[in-house]
Amino acid sequence: MKEAIRTVLHDFLDTLDEDVKILDAATGSGETTLELAQNIHGTIISADIDLLPSAQEKIRREGLSSKVEFITANLAHMESIDDSSIDGIVSHATVSALPSETPFMQFKVFTEFYRVLKPSGALIIIDYYPLNEVEIKNKADRIAQEAWRVYKAVAELVGDSHHEEIPPQRIIELLEWIGFRECTYRKISERTQSTTFGEYVQSMQEYVKKVEDTDLQKAFQKKITCLNEQEKIHGKSDYSDTYCVWAKK
C-alpha cells in the first residue's frame, strides 16, 4: 500500500472509537483488510463478490483471522449484514471497478452502505480518476490520457466494463442525495505514470490477447507499443488523480 493512501486511511481510523466494526468493501487482494486488521482493536467484515484465497491467506499468515470475517457478497445486496450495524466503511479502489454495464450500480452500492452504517457512522472512499482535458499540461500528460482511453477501450471490447470514470464531485452528489452528510473530498495524487506504466502496458497486452479479430488485435498492439515508446521519451506524468471522499450517515 502506498504511503499516501496509508496515511489517509489512518486519519480515517483516528476518527473512530477503538472497539469498532469496519466493513472493507471490497476485499480485492486483501491489502486494505490487512492494514485495517493491524491497526484497530475491533473487527473487520471483508466483503467481495469473488473472494481470493490469497487474500484470506494473507490474513491467516499474519495471525489476524480472529479479527476478520470474510463474506462473499454483492456490495449492492449485502443481505448478511444487518441494518445500522457498521461503525465505518472503507472503499479502496472499488468505485472505479464497479461494472458500468449495470444501471445505477454506484447508487445501489452507496444506498447499501447507508443502510448498514450506524447513525453517525463514517465512510471513506479512496479511488482514482483519470486525467481530463483541463489537467493536460504537456506531452507526457497527453500520452497518459491516451493510454487510459486505449486501456478502457480494449477492456470493454473483451467484455470487462470496469474502469468507469467517476469524478469525486459526482460521488458526493450521489452520497448527499442518498442522505449522507458532511461529504467532502480531497486530492492525494500519489500515483504516477513513470512508476506504473510498465504494469499498465502489460495489463493492456493481456486484454489484447483476448481480442478475436486479428486485424483489430494488431492495431491495438501497435498503438500500445507506440505509447510505451513515447512514455520512455517524455517521462513522468500523473496518469490519474488519487482522491478520498469522506462522509457520515
Task: Look at residue 200 and give its three-state secondary structure.
Answer: helix
Angle between helices 214-234 and 139-157 (to 10 degrees): 160
CA distance 10 to 19: 15
Provide the pLDDT for residue 119: 97
Tell me what percent of the residues of the chain surpass a pLDDT of 90: 47
For residue 43, the number of C-alpha atoms closer than 13 Å in the C-beta half-sphere is 11
Choice among 26-35, 86-95, 124-133 with the minimum mean pLDDT: 124-133
Provide the pLDDT for residue 191: 47
Residue 3's alpha-carbon distances to 6, 40, 173, in angstroms, are: 5, 18, 28
217-243, pLDDT tens digit by residue? Answer: 888 889 888 888 887 787 766 556 688
Q: Which three cell numbers stand for residue 133?
A: 482535458
Look over the chain and give the mean of its residue pLDDT values, rounded to a whole number: 85
- Average pLDDT in the 167-196 region? 82
- Selected residue with higher pLDDT from 141 and 28: 28
83-120, pLDDT tens digit by residue? Answer: 999 999 999 988 877 776 565 889 999 999 999 999 99
Q: What is the DSSP letter of 201?
A: H
Provide the pLDDT for residue 156: 74
CA distance 38 to 30: 12
- Average pLDDT in the 123-136 region? 75
Query: Looking at the predicted structure, is the pLDDT value of residue 190 above 60?
Result: no
Q: Which three cell numbers stand for residue 88?
A: 465505518
Q: Locate the domains of the chain by residue range.
A: 3-248
CATH of 3-248, one of 1.25.40.10, 3.40.50.150, 3.40.50.2000, 3.40.50.1100: 3.40.50.150
99 burial class (0-12, 13-18, 19+ CB within 10 angstroms)? exposed
Start-end of H helices in the chain: 3-14, 31-37, 53-61, 105-116, 139-157, 168-178, 193-208, 214-234
146-163, pLDDT tens digit by residue? Answer: 877 787 777 777 766 555
Tell me what percent of the residues of the chain surpass a pLDDT of 70: 85
Query: Looking at the predicted structure, is the pLDDT value of residue 172 above 50?
Result: yes
Count helices and strands in the chain by DSSP H and E runs: 8, 7
b/e 169-187 (16+ beta carbons within 10 angstroms → b): eebbebbeebebeebebee
Q: Which residues pair with 68 in a beta bridge?
A: 44
